[in-house]
Each structure stands twice: as structure tokens, then as C-alpha cells.
Amino acid sequence: MNSSPENSLVVQNLKVSFEEKDGMLQVLENVSFSIQKNAFACLIGPSGSGKSTLLRTLAGLIPYESGSIEFPEVHGRKARTGLVFQKANLMSWRTLAENIALPLELANFSREEIDKTVKEMVELTGLQGFENSWPHELSGGMAQRVAIARSLVQDPDILFLDEPFGSLDELTRERMSEELLRIWNEKRKTILMVTHSISEAVFLADRVLVLSGFPQGIVLDLPINLPRPRDEKIRYSPEFAQAAATLHDHLKF
């Protein structure tokens, strides 16, 4: 397979099905796409089209039946992945800092390294002063920041986000989108984010992939050529509206 070197992820003819009581349930078929290094891609699709399943399969949580998922090496080593869920999924018995430290503890990093990295991530995500707070003391937006910080501690090359702001209110959601862009700018990661919001996808992404349900796969791969850095005003530009309209046409709800 000759994947071009600038790619961070290459998926070809991916097929995923679940075992059910009465046979196999086909979820994904003919899914092929690739994402360039350091690109911000959004994955959008009607509910039930298998967006979350696709993301979980890429993150290694679900086995796939056939096809291939390739992460080209980065600086001669295996690419690392990170995953952020729709729910923050914090451990209620760990403080904010301890929650962020979890992946490093599991990977047996030294105490000094853990403290240093956690401090850096707390600053990056704007959580200073809350290191010793318990999860139940945090708002939804704060909790999701912790989840993002936790996914970044291992310095992943590619970050998967599964509707990370889906449970937040509109205003917090927009703020978090901008924060995410800032972090992406600072850290330069490849990002693949599942969302069901067309405007969120257009605002954030370099490319929007539209996934249609079984057995169609990716039905549209739309480049978003809006200038960066983007701010709120861009949402009212004609190019934005054009892209949103195109996406809307390809989503059959």
C-alpha cells in the first residue's frame, strides 16, 4: 500500500459488523478516506450512520471485519492516538489533576514527568486553580476541558473526538470550539472529530467528511477553504453559508 507520506491516517474499504442474537448487524462498509498530517477533519452524518462506531474502530476499541486502518509512522515510531468521548468520563474519586494524570500513570511514567506534563496541560486548557477540585464541582464545559487535557497528556499524533461538545449548551459549545482551535494551533495535531452540527463542522474543519449509513460509506469529502484564524464573524460570511448548504444537501435526515 503506498500511502503518501503527508497522511496521518489512511482507511481503506473498512467493514465493521456486530454480532447479534440473530446474525450479524452490518454497520459500516466501503469506508475509505485519508486525513493529511496536522489537518482538522470533521466527520458528520445522520444519526445511526455509524459515526461513533467508525471513530471507536479507528481508536482501536472495536475490531473490524475487513479493510485496513493505517497510521503512517511519525519520526520513525508508531503513531499515538488519543480519544475524547461525548461524556467527560471523569473518575469521581480522583481530583482534576489526578484525572489528567491517569493515562501517564497507566503507562508508568515517573512522578516528576507526570507532574510536569499535567501542569503544562492544565495551563494549556485554562484550568489553573482547579487542580484539586473534584469532578462533581466542575461545570460541563470544565469537565470536557479536563477530558481534552487528559487525551493530550500522552502527546498523541492524532486525536479522535466523539461529539465532545454534544452535551454542552450553545454558548459554551462555541467557546469550547474556539478553545479547541487554539489548542490545535498551538500543538499541531491531526484531529478527526465527530459532530452532528453542520455549523460546528464548517467552523472548525479543513475538511468535512459526510458518512452515510450502510452500505454507502463516505459520500462527500468537502474541503473548507475559509481563512484561518477563524473567529465568530466568519459564521456570517457567504462562503460559510455555501459550505453549510452543500453539507445539508448531502445529509438526508
Site membership for another protein, residue 213 (CB under 8 A): no
- As measured in angstroms, the least distance from the Cβ of 138 to another protein is 12
Which residues, at least 6 apart from 224, have a Cβ–Cβ distance to it below 8 Å?
Answer: 202, 205, 206, 207, 208, 243
Contact string 126-145 vs another protein (x = CB under 8 A): --------x-xx--------
Site membership for another protein, residue 87 (CB under 8 A): yes
Q: Which of 105, 169, 221, 232 binds another protein (CB under 8 A)?
A: 105
* Count of residues engaged in binding another protein, rule: CB under 8 A: 20
Q: Which of 42, 83, 142, 209 binds another protein (CB under 8 A)?
A: 83
- As measured in angstroms, the least distance from the Cβ of 250 to another protein is 30
Distance, in Å, from the CA atom of 177 to the CA atom of 174, rounded to the nearest integer, reads 5
Contact 50, 16 (CB under 8 A): yes
Contact 15, 28 (CB under 8 A): yes
The count of C-alpha atoms lying within 13 angstroms of the C-alpha of 136, restricted to the half-sphere facing its C-beta, is 2
- The pairing of beta strand 66-70 with beta strand 81-84: unpaired
Site membership for another protein, residue 18 (CB under 8 A): no
Nearer to another protein among residue 156 and residue 213 (C-beta): 156
Peptide bond preceding 227: is omega within 30 degrees of 0, i.e. cis?
Answer: no
Distance, in Å, from the CA atom of 161 to the CA atom of 55, rounded to the nearest integer, reads 8
Q: Which of 103, 141, 164, 217 binds another protein (CB under 8 A)?
A: 103
Written as nine digits, the cell of 181 is: 482551535
Nearer to another protein among residue 82 and residue 217 (C-beta): 82
Site membership for another protein, residue 92 (CB under 8 A): yes
The helix (H) or strand (E) run that includes residue 8 is: strand 7-20
Nearer to another protein among residue 160 and residue 240 (C-beta): 160
Q: Which of 24, 61, 241, 245 binds another protein (CB under 8 A)?
A: 61
The helix (H) or strand (E) run that includes residue 140 is: helix 140-152
Site membership for another protein, residue 193 (CB under 8 A): no
State the residues that interact with another protein by CB under 8 A: 59-61, 83, 85, 87, 89, 91-95, 102-103, 105-107, 134, 136-137
